[in-house]
Amino acid sequence: MLAEYQQHTQERAQLSIPPLPLDAVQTSKLCELLKNPAPGTEELLLYLLRDRIPPGVDQAAYVKAGFLTAIAKQEITSPLISPIAAVELLGTMVGGYNVQSLIDLLSSQVAESAATALSKILLVYDAFNDVLELSKTNKYAKQVVNSWVEAEWFTLRPTLPESITVTVFKVPGETNTDDLSPATHATTRPDIPLHALAMLETRQPGSLETIADLKKKGYPVAYVGDVVGTGSSRKSAINSVLWHLGNDIPFVPNKRAGGYILGSAIAPIFFNTAEDAGALPIQCNVTKMATGDIITIYPYKGEVTNAAGEVISTFSLKPDTILDEVRAGGRIPLLIGRTLTDKTRLALGLTPTNLFIRPQAPTETGKGYTLAQKMVGKASGLPGVRSGTSCEPIMTTVGSQDTTGPMTRDELKELACLGFSADLVMQSFCHTAAYPKPIDIKTHQELPDFISSRGGVALRPGDGIIHSWLNRMLLPDTVGTGGDSHTRFPLGISFPAGSGLVAFAGALGVMPLDMPESVLVRFKGELQPGITLRDIVNAIPYVAMQKGLLTVEKQNKKNVFSGKILEIEGLPNLKVEQAFELTDASAERSCAGCTIKLSEETIAEYLRSNIALLKNMVARGYSDARTIMRRVAKMEEWLANPVLLSADTDAEYAEIIEIDLNEIKEPIVAAPNDPDNVKLLSEVANDPVQEVFVGSCMTNIGHYRATAKILEGAGAVKARLWIAPPTRMDEHQLKAEGVYNVFVSANARTEIPGCSLCMGNQARVEDNTTVFSTSTRNFNNRMGKGAQVYLGSAELAAVCALLERIPTVKEYMEIVGEKINPFADNLYRYLNFDQIVGFEDEGRVISKEEQAALV
């Protein structure tokens, strides 16, 4: 084992990265070697045991904890590890498999060491009650409880210094998370050091060499940019930044924390993920900063000075608790530790400590609440939550997808999670199902059991897109999150997050939230002929630009939506599938979340359909079946008493934007290569198009029927056409209706249900091609190297495929008038599973009696 590991270490050293952590088999062999170490290996063996095994509830940690516990109890011996040293090592394992051992050892000969070790452990969960009870009779347990009371886990850590001198590493303009964590390297994301080698490889080649040179100046290097961290919610972006610019975490292999990030604008999810990782994100004007500059940050004064001592920028740290977060090693450790201290003090009848900076409640205005404020309020046990309030709403629904799922798994292990507290956690396999690499296949095999064994629901490769499924599991007026930036619930509200915070939400059932302000978009009028919902999606940024509330230019960029909740009114009769087009696209506005007001009838219809789908999942053998049936019961409970929250008429908004549908006379598209770069069809007509993609979470079954109707009878199209339905149910129904025959005649490339081209992590378009796509984003190099990508409706995409160019308004309206408008009622029908005879029994592998017993 040692020889193999040393060879692996040398191979990784060629890449200037450390070896992978030990797995359970290697750890087991290591423990055997430690019982009788060969001469000359002692230091290496101790290093591997101490620093190269993942903490928490990783299987390797299970082996390590068992070995150290046996030494501490003197059941086995090692000449290198005394019982006291074994206890000290148990104390470095964060939580999970070490906790019960340390509690047991409070009544042993090494009790004093066990008390010191356990005092540092925050992830004790239900074992808290055991320690509290034991403290009545055991002085060492009492010592642990006293340590929790005094928050020594916090006070023994250093405070942030008065001044911090750093060297600037600047990436001008906008940096999105795909620049920092390229989708083409998605399979390496759990391997943080390896994945970090791809950071900025396309956006700013040579950056890693530049960072290495800057470190030679002797100061920490700070990441600086005009607009930082837009796009996907992937925590791997922060992981990569901190791998290069952060600090090692003691006893945690291949992961770093801390670091400094400065941006004129920092995307909200990226900002939150930085907080969680213990970094200090600062929003300030960075125009006077350049790569190589030596600057000094004064966190308490809110100033940045240059080498000459001149103030070049000012800032106000946000949120109020950020200094405590950095001191604690991140927002998540702070929340868990603060809760432990508060819980302990409450149990002992003590008042809350004033050691922490507590979030300040905003001034009460006496005004009404927005819909989002009421939803979050309901999840927090309150009538409403004002913007600026720090709260921890209950997470009713949590989603995870497969390119972030392995990271979420690792975070869950570090959180010592063996069972989910969130009511429903769902894992999809939509990003890697089409063309899986060996590492993806391994994930497909192992991750479902990991999720379902903790009470979660695991989809199967080929089922389709996370959002198209997760939306089917939602409850009205509830709150959730997901490890994908397009987790934008059309029922209730969601706040997408990085994998660390998603793991926290799943494990603890709540999520920290600094309640954002809201922007209200109110529609009026009627949808005009030829205008689709996707055009309405693009109308939001279009109208905002006309009002001076949004700009495309990155330097000093204006974006009224950034970090705020988008609240949509005026379209109550949309189907939920249609409503998701609008909420989904709030991700491209950099919104924190989105709500849409829908009618009770629309929601009831959707829930009845979803109940049939969920029951069919159980019939097909999906796990965890009890979780699925519990959600069915809650849907049925709502249907029995259908009540919806609604915004108060005097609710306050940061901005109100009114959009008159009567004034939108032609399609609106996002032009290359920015979702905010929206233009009227007449402005881009006749631009050439080589490839067309109809797919992504922005589509539903109606889009594919409409696409086929436009293509019908035309034969092979001129452009290269990609078709990828969102779910296997859509695919099945479209094939049954003969729609796929039209796609075959059009010479389209049909993909299995899933994300396909959208993220660009598997199949990609040709280099330097021009694409018209129904997908979510058109960032540089996302769908293909050098690709110029337009975003718009499926109907317009189909016309582009026919003509191999963007049509004129006249051409488009004529085709739609002939092919779509007369058949609209039939084309835009949605999947109501409760109305499909025998649907609940399709693919049944368990008996109805077994299924009934799960209720």
Q: Which of 564, 556, 164, 190 is nearest to 326 (CA)?
A: 164
Rounded Cα distance, 695 and 686, in Å? 23
Phi, psi of 2, rounded to the nearest 5 degrees: -65, -40
**Based on the domain organization, do 826 and 694 belong to the same domain?**
yes
Instruction: Give the rounded percent of residues in the chain with a pLDDT score beyond 70.
Output: 100
Q: Does residue 361 form part of some domain?
A: no
Handedness of CA 308, 309, 310, 312 (dihedral sign): positive
**Based on the domain organization, do 800 and 694 belong to the same domain?**
yes
Q: Does residue 338 form part of some domain?
A: no
**Based on the domain organization, do 546 and 502 belong to the same domain?**
no
Q: Does residue 362 form part of some domain?
A: no
Rounded Cα distance, 843 and 184, in Å? 35
Phi, psi of 680, rounded to the nearest 5 degrees: -70, 150
pLDDT at 199 exceeding the cut of 90: yes
Q: Does residue 437 form part of some domain?
A: yes
**Based on the domain organization, do 505 and 543 belong to the same domain?**
no
**Based on the domain organization, do 505 and 442 belong to the same domain?**
yes
Rounded Cα distance, 429 and 754, in Å? 8
pLDDT reported for residue 27:
98
**Based on the domain organization, do 399 and 507 belong to the same domain?**
yes
Domain boundary among 484, 514, 544: 514
pLDDT reported for residue 554:
82
- Peptide bond just before 281 cis, omega within 30 deg: no
pLDDT at 806 exceeding the cut of 90: yes
Q: Which of 397, 422, 550, 408 is nearest to 488 (CA)?
A: 397
Q: Does residue 357 form part of some domain?
A: no
Per-residue pLDDT, averaged over 660-678, amounts to: 97
Q: Is 40 helix (H, G, I), strand (E, B) or coil?
A: coil
pLDDT reported for residue 567:
99
Sheet holding 518-524, edge to edge: 593-596, 565-569, 518-524, 655-660
Rounded Cα distance, 437 and 401, in Å? 16
Q: How far is CA 153 from the centre of its chain?
A: 28
Rounded Cα distance, 781 and 203, in Å? 9
pLDDT band at 556 (very low <50, low <70, confident <90, very high): confident
Q: How many helices (H) and strands (E) does the chain have?
A: 34, 27
Chain position carrying tokens 């899986």: 436
Per-residue pLDDT, averaged over 32-56, amounts to: 97
**Based on the domain organization, do 491 and 556 belong to the same domain?**
no
Give per-residue pLDDT as tens, 487-517. Answer: 999 999 999 999 999 999 999 999 999 999 9
Q: How far is CA 136 from the centre of its chain?
A: 43
**Based on the domain organization, do 738 and 644 belong to the same domain?**
no
Rounded Cα distance, 19 and 25, in Å? 16
pLDDT at 855 exceeding the cut of 80: no
Q: Does residue 839 form part of some domain?
A: no
Average pLDDT, the chain: 96
Strand blocks (E) in 299-449: 303-305, 311-314, 390-391, 397-400, 424-427
Per-residue pLDDT, averaged over 313-322, amounts to: 96
**Based on the domain organization, do 305 and 228 belong to the same domain?**
yes
pLDDT reported for residue 6:
94
What CATH number did the domain enclosing 465 receive? 3.30.499.10
Kindly write down the DSSP assignment for every residue of 75-131, as one continuous string.
SS-BTTB-HHHHHHHHTTS-BSTTHHHHHHHTTSTTHHHHHHHHHT--B-TTHHHHH
Number of other residues whose CB lies within 10 A of the CB of residue 208? 17
Give per-residue pLDDT as tens, 156-190. Answer: 999 999 999 999 999 999 999 999 999 999 999 99
Per-residue pLDDT, averaged over 75-90, amounts to: 98
pLDDT band at 44 (very low <50, low <70, confident <90, very high): very high
Give per-residue pLDDT as tens, 389-429. Answer: 999 999 999 999 999 999 999 999 999 999 999 999 999 99
Domain boundary among 277, 302, 328: 328
Rounded Cα distance, 54 and 31, in Å? 15
Q: Does residue 855 form part of some domain?
A: no
Sheet holding 479-482, edge to edge: 457-458, 424-427, 397-400, 479-482, 493-494
pLDDT at 194 exceeding the cut of 90: yes
Give per-residue pLDDT as tens, 757-767. Answer: 998 888 999 99
Rounded Cα distance, 172 and 227, in Å? 8
Domain boundary among 283, 311, 328: 328
pLDDT at 787 exceeding the cut of 90: yes
What CATH number did the domain enclosing 13 receive? 1.25.40.310
**Based on the domain organization, do 51 and 126 belong to the same domain?**
yes
Per-residue pLDDT, averaged over 740-752, amounts to: 97
Burial class (CB in 10 A: 0-12, 13-18, 19+), 324: buried
Query: pTM of the prediction?
Result: 0.94
Per-residue pLDDT, averaged over 609-627, amounts to: 98
**Based on the domain organization, do 503 and 528 belong to the same domain?**
no
Structure tokens at 164: 């911090």
Give per-residue pLDDT as tens, 233-271. Answer: 889 999 999 999 999 999 999 999 999 999 999 999 999
**Based on the domain organization, do 530 and 418 belong to the same domain?**
no
pLDDT band at 709 (very low <50, low <70, confident <90, very high): very high
How many angstroms separate the Cα of 249 from the Cα of each of 51, 52, 504? 10, 12, 19
Which residues constitute the domain of residue 444? Answer: 389-514
pLDDT at 470 exceeding the cut of 80: yes
pLDDT reported for residue 218:
97
Instruction: Give the rounded percent of residues in the chain with a pLDDT score beyond 90.
Output: 96
Phi, psi of 773, rounded to the nearest 5 degrees: -135, 150
Strand blocks (E) in 111-210: 164-176
Q: Does residue 850 form part of some domain?
A: no
pLDDT band at 360 (very low <50, low <70, confident <90, very high): confident
Number of domains making up the chain = 5
pLDDT reported for residue 231:
86
Per-residue pLDDT, averaged over 785-800, amounts to: 97
